[in-house]
Structure formats: structure tokens, C-alpha cells
Chains A and B, each alone.
Chain A
Amino acid sequence: MTEIKQGDIVLQARGITKRYPGLVANDHIDFEIRAGEIHAILGENGAGKTTLMSILFGLTHPDEGEIYVFGKKVNFRSPLDAIDLGIGMVHQARKLISAHTVLENILLGHPHAGAILDMKKTAEEVKQLCDAYGYKIDLNAKVWHLSEGEKQMVEILKALYRGAKILIMDEPTSALAPPETEKLLETIQLMTKNELAIVPFITHKLPIVLSVSQRVTVLRRGKIVARLNTAEATEQSLAMEMIGREVLFNLKRPDVKIGKPILQVENISVHDDKDYWAARNISFEVREGEIFGIAGVSGNGQQPLAEALAGLRKASAGRVLFENKDITRLSSLERWKKGIGYIPSEQRAVGSIGDFSLVENLLMSYYYDDQFVKWGLIDAKKIRQLTQELIEEYNVATPNPDVKARNLSGGNLQKMILARVFSRKPRLIIANLPTQGLDVGAMEFVQNKLLEEKKAGAGILLISEDLDEIMALSDRIAPMYEGEFMDILPGGSAQRETVGALMAGHKQKAVQA
């Protein structure tokens, strides 16, 4: 192989086409990546970004088209072929085996792993990689013990340890907390300097695209609609290219009269799966027409707290009142019936059943409703029609309502889940990371939906890691750190810096500031 210089074309795709029943996910895509560049790929939810990357990684076979890697034509039969040529991928959904250790995950399928695994040698080599990128991670820990950010480190380490020269990252930041995101961006910039990696990088976060990438390719409905140098782009112009219309980056918060309390939480404490304290002694209330925002980096107890309020986890202590009635002991179903809606953060694991169609997924919020189920019989026509209507209203990109949920792109699945929860007209909405993985257009849509619900008088508990989202939407903000509320601040007058510092656990500093 000849020496690769910065700027050389290392990967080229020509005329890549992939059709799924009823839609063309990739439509004659021509695309190339150069050595040492960070190449951002943008596009709405369902535009075909993940499909294209899976094709480049050998995970999906294109119906048409050719791929050239380092100038040679290739025909990937499986990811192994791509890995052998130095292509690595960090997937949109984490792809690690939770029961295995970090090292085992890194070694799995490694072409040079001997028949008998030399754990000691591997550990040393991986340690060196860790040091190079400033990663700190226990290599013998089981993956299920790790945080989202650590899992991602493992995926990157795995790709690098296999000698990846081209690293495909599909929404690497969507599950990361702000400091983890910064760390990641540092890492990939370092990689391109080391001439080690050429990174196509998919994301919905436009500021990230602007700050780290050199070139941008924009997809819309399976076609490339723009190729730009990042230097010439702005947030507005990128959004415009992506969805073909302007996106307003500042939301208008409607003036809504805040009513009486809907949800009252009194000294609630919750344990997590490992039996540790997750949230301790938390009290607050959410009122009619109010958005109460919990700001925090993932893993600080928001998830168990939300689950406890939704009735999916037992509270170890404390009381929850809904419209002045004690619901602490009610099951989740009884809570749904009373008018609580829950948007879980894990869309694939908790929010939907992958092998069920969209109609059946919607039914999960309607099976207890006499209008749709009579004498135990499902009114199939009615629920199908409702699904159809919601697909249209929420602009879900899918050929028909009988598609399996797992075939929906991340963003579209999220829209479907929102549609299901909102269409029940809940009095209280617990929204756990509702815009995670959504494109800017869809994000705007969801945020406006939340505001609409607020206008209609619903109380909303918004849990988010996105400081901008919290600041823009919330009437009151509770920064959460290590299972406790650091403070409860009024949304209108709170300073971004103060909230940021509090959610990082700097109580002292925030008070002085």
C-alpha cells in the first residue's frame, strides 16, 4: 500500500442505492472521504445516514453501487471484510456485550487475537491507547457496570485497537453528557492529527458540526442535496439544507397561567438496579401549565426518579401525589389511566417493541380504552386509522403503519412514541430526554408540541441533558447532581452558567457567581 497523505481520497462510494419496501433509503449516492478530515453527514431523521454508513461498514448490502477503499474496489460480504481494510464503526445504538468485560469486548473478533487470548498483553496495549487519548477506564470491568460515555470509549478503543484508519461514528454524542461530548471531540480531533483516522461523523447537533468538521455532506430523503466546506456554513444554512425550510432556533415560550399543583413529590428516595441510592429525599411540585425542567448529566439519578414517578420502579421512601391523591402505590397502568404520560429515554428497549408494527405499538397505550377494545376484542380498523392519522400529524417517515418499529430510524421512532403519549391527552407528561437523537426540525417540532401541551394546561416534567433545551422551555429548573436537586431556580431569570455549574455539582461556585 502506498503512503497516504493528508487530503488523499481514502474511501469512495459511487452510485450507492438501497431500497427498502416502499422507500429508497439511499438513492445513487456519490461520496468520498479524505485522509485527515472530519466529514460530517447531516440529514433529517430517516434521511438514510445510518443506512449509508452500514453499507460502508459491510453491515448492509447495497442494491447498486460501488465502493472503493484506498483506491481498490471492494465488495463487503460482512463487517469482517470492512474491518480488515481498516474501517471501524461506532454505532448509533451501542454494540457491546454487557455481560463481558471491557477487554473481552475489545478483543472479540480481533484478527490478530491468537487462539489463546493473551489478556495481559492486550491490556498493556489497550492501556497505551487509553493513555494516548487520556481515557481512564477499568479494562476488567463488566460492560453493564459502565456509564454511557464509558461504553462509547470502549467502542472507540475497540475500533482503534483493530487498527481502524477510517472511523465511522453514527451519532456518537446523542447519549453523552456535555463533558463527555467535549472529551470525544477532543479525541477525534487528535485522531485526525495522528493521521490515524478519517472520520465521517453523523450528528444532529449543528454546533458540533461547525466546530469540528472540515466538510459537510447533507442528505435528504436518500439523496445528497449539498456538499459544503464547513467554513462557508452557518447553523441556519445547514438547517435549511437539511429540511428545506428555515428553523427558528429560539422558541417562543407562550404566556400561560400557571395553575394548581398536579404532581406533588414529597421526600422521595429511589434505588437503582444495583441497589445503590439513585435519588435521595427529593421534593418538588409540577403545576398546571408549567414545565418543570430537571437539568443534569445522565446517570445522576434522573432516570430512576422518572421511573419511580411513572410507576415503573418502587420508591424506597416518600410520597407522590397526583391531583391531590396519593399514587405512591399505584401501578403504571393505573397512573396512565389517571392521566400521566411517560416518554421513556430508551426508545428501543422501553419505548417500543421492535417486532411489533406501529399499529400494535400504538395499541399499547389504547388497549385499556373501551373505544378501541370492546369485550376484549380489538377494533383493528379504528386503531389502524388512528395510527395513520398520527403518522401524518407527526410527520413520521414510514411507508405504512404496518412497518415493524425496529425498522424505523431513531428519530422517527421517537416521533411515534411521542405521538402515542400525547394523543392520550395526559394531564401530566414525564418527558425523559424527549429530543434525544432528533434532527433540528423534529426537535423544534417536539419542543413546540410540549409547549402546546403546556398551553392546554398539562403539567410537564422535562428531563434533559441539553442545557439549551432546558433553558428555553422550563418555567422552573432543578439542576440534579448525584441524586439530589442542587437548587430550584426560576426559569426566566436563571443564568445558563449557574445552571451548568450546579449540574456539574459546584454548589459553592454557583452561589458566589
Chain B
Amino acid sequence: MWEFWIRSLNASTIFAIAGLGEVVGQRAGVMNVGVEGAMLFGATIGFIVAKTTGSYLLGFLAGIAIGALIGLLHAFFTITLHGDQVVNGMGIWILGFGLTTYIGSPYAGPLGMGRIPTIGGLSPFFFAALVLTFVIWFVLFKTHWGLKIRSVGENPTVAEVSGINVVRTRYWSVIFSGAMMGLAGAVYALDYNPVWSYNLLMGWGFIALALVFFSMWNPYILLSGAVLFGALWQVSLNPESFLPNIFSRYIWRTFPFVITIIILVIMSTHWFSSRWGAAKPEALGLPYEKD
């Protein structure tokens, strides 16, 4: 049982880091459905750099950097060129999938470096994720920066007349968001499961994306959701040992999505919105054009 929870928490670390990144981007009004693609880039480039240089540090930095670059790309297409966020995000996923398969294949196999030390079995990144959750919550809700980010995501026109540079704020948010996804990918490939193989993430990016909607854009709820989804994933790996003969692992893997859909339905009800208002950033998905 202990083992199960350790594995779950280590998995949830990755969901949480990627999800936190996406939360920041979406709070600023930019959705990136290509989380999986950005994570694949982070995982693959991080893996290759670490393997060739023998340095974990360089590997993680490379993962973050490539993620940030993907974020920059997404920002350029959606903010500057007013491209559709969903279409562009899908593009990032497809690009990430294809390109990382191409550049990663020659490196297929284990990383072959000493494992990153754990703390009672838990990855140090688990604690990093805890800290990040707090920091991102603090920045979003207690600082002027965060207020600006949330404002450009709610109503960019109002932000503009309040003297906010909407474009710049969105750019930085999306770049940061990409960097977090890259980091999440690198954590997967260098720490969680240090083996490069074809399609190594198996859709974890999409779970992280679902997590953002599940969280109602709140970092703390996101963290708890990550733990829940991490546990569900572990169950799906080995369903027989928990609840024999109930569901196949593929059914278990849909649970995060089913739960998210239920949350989304509840959120869209009159009952919810008349009490708590709309949780979703109002300008999410909409390009901003200055008149």
C-alpha cells in the first residue's frame, strides 16, 4: 500500500507541474491544448541532453528551455497572429509527437545514469510541486502581477484601459506555462521513468489539461486533483490487485476525464454560477484585438 501511494504521488507530481503551468496560461486567457506536445519536447530534449552530457541539471534546464520555446511559439501564433488557440494547440501536440519520435528514436532505451535520490521514496520534485503550488497561488492572488494575469484573462479591454500591457502579460504567462510543461516532461523522462521509448507519455499531458478544468483554475484544487488522478493512474496500471475483475485498465484511465466532465457540467449549471460566479476566465480562448 505504501508503495502504491509513493508511486501515485510521484505521478501526481508530473500532473501538477504541467497543470500549474497550464493554469497560469489559461488564467491569462490563453489555452494550450498541446500540453502533451510540450511535455514530449521537454521529456525528449531533456533526456537527450542529460544522456549526452551526463548532467541532470543540464537535462532539466534543456527541458524547461524547450518548453518555454514552445510556449513562445504558441504565444506568437495565438497572441500576435490571432490564431485559434485550440487549433494551434493541436498543432503543438502533433508536432511534438512527430518530431520527438524522430529525434528521440536513436536514444531509445534507459538513461543509464544514477537515479535521482529520493526522500523516503518520494521524488524531490514532489516537494518542488508543493512549493510551486503555493508560489503560483500566491503570485496569482496576492501580487500585482497575478492580478494583471487574471485581468487579461477575464477582460483584456478593461485591463488595457487600466494601463496594462495585455500582449506582454499574455506572452510571459504563456512562455512560463510552456516552461512548466517542459519541466514536467523532463521530470517524467529523467526521474519518474528514465527510459526513452516511443510515445513515452501515453497521454499524461491530456490528463494534466483535464486537471486544469477540474481545478476550476485554482492551484490548490489542482494539487488535490493531481493526487486523485495520480492514484487513479496507478490503479489503472494494475487493476487486478485492487479490485479484481471490475474494470479493465483502459476504463480506469478514462476516469480522470469522466470526473472532469462531471465537474464541468456542475460548473456550468445555474445553481453553481448564481452562487460562485463563473469560475472560468471569461476571455479564455478569445484573441485580443485592440481597436
Residues of A within 8 A of B (CB): 57, 59-60, 78-80, 83-84, 89, 91, 95-100, 104, 107-111, 113-117, 142, 144, 158, 273-275
A109:B159 contact, CB within 8 angstroms:
yes
B162:A108 contact, CB within 8 angstroms:
yes
Q: Return 14 A-B CB contacts under 8 Å, by A number.
A: A78-B165, A84-B163, A97-B155, A97-B158, A99-B277, A99-B281, A100-B151, A107-B147, A109-B148, A109-B162, A113-B144, A116-B144, A117-B143, A117-B147
SS class, residues of chain A in contact with chain B: loop
Task: Count contacts on B: residues with CB < 8 A to the other chain.
Answer: 26
Chain A residues near B274: list those with CB within 8 A.
273-275
User: Count the A-B residue pairs with Cβ separation under 8 angstroms: how many?
Assistant: 77
B163:A144 contact, CB within 8 angstroms:
no
Q: Select B161's contact among A79, A84, A273, beta carbons within 8 Å.
A: A79
Q: Select A59's contact among B145, B161, B164, beta carbons within 8 Å.
A: B161
B197 within 8 A of A: no
Q: Select B143's contact among A84, A99, A116, beta carbons within 8 Å.
A: A116
B69-109 with Cβ < 8 A to chain A: none
Query: How far apart sit A96 and B161, CA to CA, in the bound complex (Å)?
Result: 10
Query: How far apart sit A80 and B169, CA to CA, in the bound complex (Å)?
Result: 14
**Least Cβ–Cβ distance between B270 and chain A, in angstroms:** 8
**Least Cβ–Cβ distance between B207 and chain A, in angstroms:** 27
**Least Cβ–Cβ distance between B274 and chain A, in angstroms:** 5
B115 within 8 A of A: no
**Least Cβ–Cβ distance between A124 and chain B, in angstroms:** 18
**Known: A99-B278, A113-B144, A144-B277. Is A79-B155 also a contact (CB below 8 A)?**
no
Query: How far apart sit A252 and B278, CA to CA, in the bound complex (Å)?
Result: 48
Query: How far apart sit A109 and B152, CA to CA, in the bound complex (Å)?
Result: 11
Produce 1/0 per residue, B204-218, CB < 8 A to A.
000000000000000
- Looking at B151, B154, B282, the one whose CB has the most chain A CB atoms below 10 A away is B151
Chain A residues near B158: list those with CB within 8 A.
95-97, 108
Chain B residues near A97: list those with CB within 8 A.
151, 154-155, 158-159
Produce 1/0 per residue, B156-192, CB < 8 A to A.
0111111111000000000000000000000000000
B160:A79 contact, CB within 8 angstroms:
yes
A100:B154 contact, CB within 8 angstroms:
yes
Query: How far apart sit A113 and B162, CA to CA, in the bound complex (Å)?
Result: 13
Query: How far apart sit A57 and B159, CA to CA, in the bound complex (Å)?
Result: 14
Q: Select B157's contact among A78, A95, A111, A142, beta carbons within 8 Å.
A: A95
CB closest residue in chain B, given A276: B274
Query: How far apart sit A84 and B162, CA to CA, in the bound complex (Å)?
Result: 11
B114-168 with Cβ < 8 A to chain A: 142-145, 147-148, 150-151, 154-155, 157-165
A99:B163 contact, CB within 8 angstroms:
no
B164:A109 contact, CB within 8 angstroms:
yes
A109:B282 contact, CB within 8 angstroms:
no
A83:B144 contact, CB within 8 angstroms:
no
- Looking at B143, B147, B165, B270, the one whose CB has the most chain A CB atoms below 10 A away is B147
CB closest residue in chain A, given B155: A97
Chain B residues near A83: list those with CB within 8 A.
163
**Known: A99-B278, A275-B274. Is A78-B160 also a contact (CB below 8 A)?**
yes
B248-291 with Cβ < 8 A to chain A: 270, 274, 277-278, 281-282, 291
Query: How far apart sit A96 and B144, CA to CA, in the bound complex (Å)?
Result: 16
Q: Other CB < 8 Å A-B pairs besides A80-B163, A80-B164, A113-B144, 16 of them?
A: A59-B161, A60-B291, A78-B163, A79-B162, A83-B163, A84-B163, A95-B161, A97-B151, A97-B154, A97-B159, A98-B154, A98-B282, A99-B277, A108-B147, A108-B159, A109-B163
